[in-house]
Amino acid sequence: MLLAQGAAAQDGWATAPGTGIVAARYDADADVYPHRIMGRIREKHVLLAQDDAGQVHSVDLRQSGSSVFEDIAPRVVDADGDGVNDVVVVETDPRAGAQLAVYGLRRGGLTKIAATPHIGTRFRWLAPVAVADLDGDGTVDLAYVDRPHLAMTLQVWTWAGGGLTRIAEMGDLTNHRIGDEVIWGGLRDCGAGPEMVLADGGFNRIVLVRLTSNGLRRETTGLAATDGGFRRVLSCRY
């Protein structure tokens, strides 16, 4: 279950069991891209990742340009389905905006192995929802909300042809409000398969979304999009 991630997670290590990467965190506050969409959480220059042998690897975006990690916290997860953990992050170009990026261990170092296209303009962001096999076809899918304050569009990407391909999208959904230091909702499985947990576009009601062979299917719940409401849904008490 992928729960909402708070500000405290950014300065600590996000962890996961398994092989490959087992912990990750951001470091080095960035001042080159003052979007400040995440409240007091600052954009970062550096991604640190610890492998299962205890070695710490790093990516410093200052070495290749002025991009930043614009994120609440990194996600340690097997993002490509090879049985080895990767790190999924929000990486932002100062001219082209955010993209969802996957970093993995390759040839003894931390390397970007896949990414979605940048949104296309500065100060445009995305908020991750889930990294999992969402439709049960054996392939890992990656979902995020494209511009959760503007476009409010859920996008789902899957692995195909050695990279990521968009396979579904649905509008009037969000998981973040300007200034929030948490990405709300995430993924749950209450015994009937994976369901993404989001809010409607007005951030009024919690919405459950499933990926099926026919695309995305939504169910608007009667629960308010509050901290208590999200906790109730994520813990399968709805």
Note the pLDDT tens digit of each residue in 58-102. 999 999 888 999 999 999 999 999 999 999 999 999 999 999 999
Note the pLDDT tens digit of each residue in 108-154. 899 999 999 999 999 999 999 999 999 999 999 999 999 999 999 99
pLDDT at 4 over 80: no
- Which band of pLDDT confidence, cut at 50, 70 and 90, is reported for residue 12? confident
Return the ∠ at Cα 68 (arms to 63 and 70), rounded to 5°. 160
Q: Token pair of 142, please? A: 């990656």
Residue with tokens 């308010």: 224
Name the pTM for this structure: 0.94
Closest by CA to 83, choosing from 17, 14, 143, 2, is: 17
Look over the chain and give the mean of its residue pLDDT values, rounded to a whole number: 94
